[in-house]
Structures are given as structure tokens and as C-alpha cells.
Chains A and B, each alone.
Chain A
Amino acid sequence: MQSLAPLLLTLKVAGFASLCAFVAGVGLAFVLARYRFRGRECFDAVFTLPLVLPPTVLGYYLIVLIGRNGWIGRYLYDAFGITLMFTWQGAVLAAAVVSLPLVFKAARAAFESVDHNLEKAARTLGSTEWGVFLRISFPLAWRGIMAGTMLAFARAMGEFGATLMVAGNLPGKTQTLSLAVYDAVQAGNDGLAAVLVLITSAACILVLLCSGRILKSQYLKEIEQ
């Protein structure tokens, strides 16, 4: 049981994190792919930054923002009594920030490859902008977005540095699989480390198989049509 708790927590954190990254990434990508405004490429660079920056640097930024004395954290604590530090929600935030670029980049490329004429045609037929997004752009970009989200989920599962800095390493509360492995090795608990490593590998293979299956079945469906 000691080795299953980190697995469940990891799945929970990675699930919520990739959901957050999905919503934020798709929204940002759509805006950047469709609208022209000053500093567009600067925004693109900022949202891609988490892919390039070391996770510890991101962890530091997050501490400055959401720590109890941080810019946003102080307000959250004074107004609602909420602290994200050392909670699983904090781990979700860290993993979401780290995996955001994977959804964002894939979604932007996917939106940009959607045929503009189809969107224009929908508008001439009386569709609203929201309708165009929901019925034309999003369904056509779906596969690229899905692939990005799968990668984001995998990245969130393996997240270590930013999570350690923001959420700490509390057994049963914020100790995800990667942190549990680190802890077991540090403490010289090789047996537990081996079990955790096997669980992690099995879980990752399962995720890859599932994602391959989802993407493939969609591809086959398209061919049949």
C-alpha cells in the first residue's frame, strides 16, 4: 500500500495538471494563431519558456508568486486563508506550468494548419465566432491538440524539480512517484525504490499504449470515412 499511494497521487496530479494545461494551452494557442497584435511572438516565447527553463527556475518563480509571502500568495492567504505551498493543488500548478508549452505548441501548429476558407465559409453561413471555434477550428485541430495533451500528461507524471520546490515532498500528501523514488534511494531503501521504479515504468507503458490506441483508432476512422 505504501507504494500505491504515490501512484494514485501522481495520476491525480498529472490528470488535473494536463486538464489545466489543455484549457489554458488551447485558449492561448487559438488567440495567438488567429489574431494579429503587437508582441504576439513575445507572448509565444513566454508561454514556451517553461519548456526551456530548468524546472528549479520555474519553481523559484512560483514560490515568488504563490508563496505565503509571494505576490499572489499573500493576497490568497489574507483573503481566503488558502496556501498552495505544500499541497497537492500546488503540485498540480507546478506540473501544469511545466507541461503547458507541450499543449500550447501543438495546438498552435494545429490551429494554423486548419484551412481558413472553411472558417470563412462557416461565417458566411451565419455562424458566430464561438460557433466557428467549436464546430470548425477545434474539431479540425483535435488530433494535434490530443497529441500535445498526451505529452503534457506524460511530462506532468515525471515532473520533479518544480514540484519539489513548490509542494515539498510529504509522504501521502504531495509525494508523487518521482519524488518517492528519489526519497527511497536517498534513504538507502533499495527494495522500495525497485518496486516504485517498476510501478512507474508499468504506468508509463500503459499510458503510451492507451494514447497510441486512441490516436490510432481515430486515424483509422478517418481512413474508413
Chain B
Amino acid sequence: MVKLKVLVIDDEKHMCSAISKALAQYNPEVKDTDEKISFSIDTAYTAKEAFRKIEKMDPDIILLDYKLPDMSGLDILQKVKFDESECLVIMITAYASLETAVSAIKSGAFDFIAKPFSPEDLRKTVFKAVQQLILARQVRKLTEEKRKVRFQFISVLGHELKAPLNAIEGYLSLIKEKALGDDVSNYMEMIERCLIRIDGMRKLIVDLLDLTRIESGEKKRELGNFNIVDIAEESVENIKMEAEKRGIEIILQAEKEIYANCDRGEILVIFNNLISNAVKYNKDNGKVWVRIKRDDGKVNIEVEDTGIGMTKEDQKKLFKEFTRIRNEKTKHILGSGLGLAIVKKIADLYNGSVSVESEPDKGSKFKVILVDKTNDK
């Protein structure tokens, strides 16, 4: 229930009470919101009283008589609008001329209603104002939420970028102080750690650029008919070296050609992120299967591994930005926490979806579905 504050400003007392009565039991509903509206109504008979009450109650809607004993309604209107309040003003006028209505609207009134009017007329006019108010509030709430999410993202990002800098700085000052003596070879572990942290930082920045490019929509998508299997092969080629170091085999299972209308770069990012995850979170000498299938207007991509897997709870958090599963098994694995969020964002561009099946210590299977109706036979 949303309570809207209404102030009726009219020197005719019977008019004030008639309006109060008409709105007291009125509980309209605004379409597409769950909000039911009720009104709390106050009245003022003079301009002086009106200003005092406006100050005090900060009304959402003002019903304002065109003529008051101590000031004209238009002057009050100008004063209210000057204060940049979000309050909507409905002018009540006895002179049902177009001229007065126009001057009221020009001065910033939301609407006008001509005396005499029925309770039904009044409700109709008030309802329009209510719709306007609720809509404006929803837009504001949404903007505010977006802003908060953005701030949170930037704040986490700041920490993610600061952490490797702290680590590198720590090592460099130890080296500068010659904490392990004069022999350079004593410092190899420290230098190696610095390089690892720099590499992690670079990956984070690359992921971040991917993510902002997708989100901003500024990068021109270069859609064309591409062979998805080709793209997968390129990705496997990219990651093969890393995999072979740990005896992990990547197996591509697909027909030779599966065409889809897509942006080549986007699909490559999907494969790179999923396959490198499947390698990173695998056991030594494990396997990674990459499967691509086309069926009924969709391209199904599946990347399965024999890795450490994860619990149902962890699976739920997986596609959020900066989510990394922290446990004994993942503590030595570096990642930006953005990879899967990026995969999800790209899948969204294709009206598709991402899902995961996983069992701890057995492995994980990621499925990406991309919608593409152009290549159906």
C-alpha cells in the first residue's frame, strides 16, 4: 500500500470537504505495479496556511484553487515549482476557459479540473497524477539500484586490482632490502610470484575490457555466418600448451561444420573462458570434452571436465561478477572472477542461456545454448 499525501487548497470549505470525501475511500491500482494507493488528505483555506502546510507535509499532489483570498493560485503554483519539488499540482478553476487552463499548464501545473465537477471527474484527474507519480518513482528506484550495483562493482574491482599491487610491492621492498642476502638466485621465488600476480592482473583487465565492451554495446558486433567448430578449434589451440603441461587432454567432439550467425570474437571468448576453466579446475592428467551440436534453431555448446567440481550451493553463485569459489581445492588457482559472468552476458546477446551440472571431485559440465534460426535446414 502506498500512501500519497494530498493537499487541497481552496477557500471554499465545502469544496475542501467534498474533495476529501471523494478521495478518502478511493484506492486505485496502477497497472503493472502491485501497488495499491491510498490518500491522506489535508486542507488549507488560505495561501499563508497552504505554504505552511506544504513546508510541513511535503505533499505528493496539490489540488489548487485558481482564486484564493490572499494570493492567486498561479502565484502559489510558481512558488511550488520554484522549489523543485516533485509534487504534481492540479488546478481547480471556476472559469472553464481554455485560457486559464493554458496559463496554469504553462506555469507547471500537471493538469486542471473545471468546477463544477463530479467525484468521478475528480478521481479520473487524480488517477492520472497518481500514475505519473508512481511511474516516476519506479524509474528513480531503478536508476538508483543500477547506480548502487555499479558502485559495488567498482569497489570490488578496486580491491581486486589493489591486492596484486600490494603483493608485488611487498616482494620488491624485500628485494630492495636484500632480505635474503646478496645472491640474486635467492629471490627467484619472489620474482616468480611477482610475475604470476602481474599475469593475474593482466587477465583481470582483459576480462574487464571484454565485459565493458559487451555491456556498453559500444563495440560494433560483427555478425556473420561463422563455423563454430573452427572457432572452437582455435580456442583449443590457444589453451593446449597450458593443458599439456599438466597432462590434460582436450577432446573436441563435433561435426566438421556447424555454422551460426554470430560475432566471431564473442564466440571465441565463450570457448576460451569455458575451456580454460575446465583446464584450470581439472586434476592433473584429466580430460576436457568440448561438444558442439546444432538442433532446432539452437547451437548447443558443452564443455565437460574431470576436475574438482563444486557443490550445489556454489553452483548458484557461479555466474555473478567477481564470484570465485574459495576452498581448499581452489586456493592456488588464479582467476578474475569475471569469466563466467562474461559467458553469461554473451549468451544473453544470443537470447541463449548458460547452465552447469557439477559434482564435487567428479567434474563439471557447462552448457551454453545460443539461439540461431538462420542456419536451420
Query: Do A and B interact with each other, yes or no?
Result: no
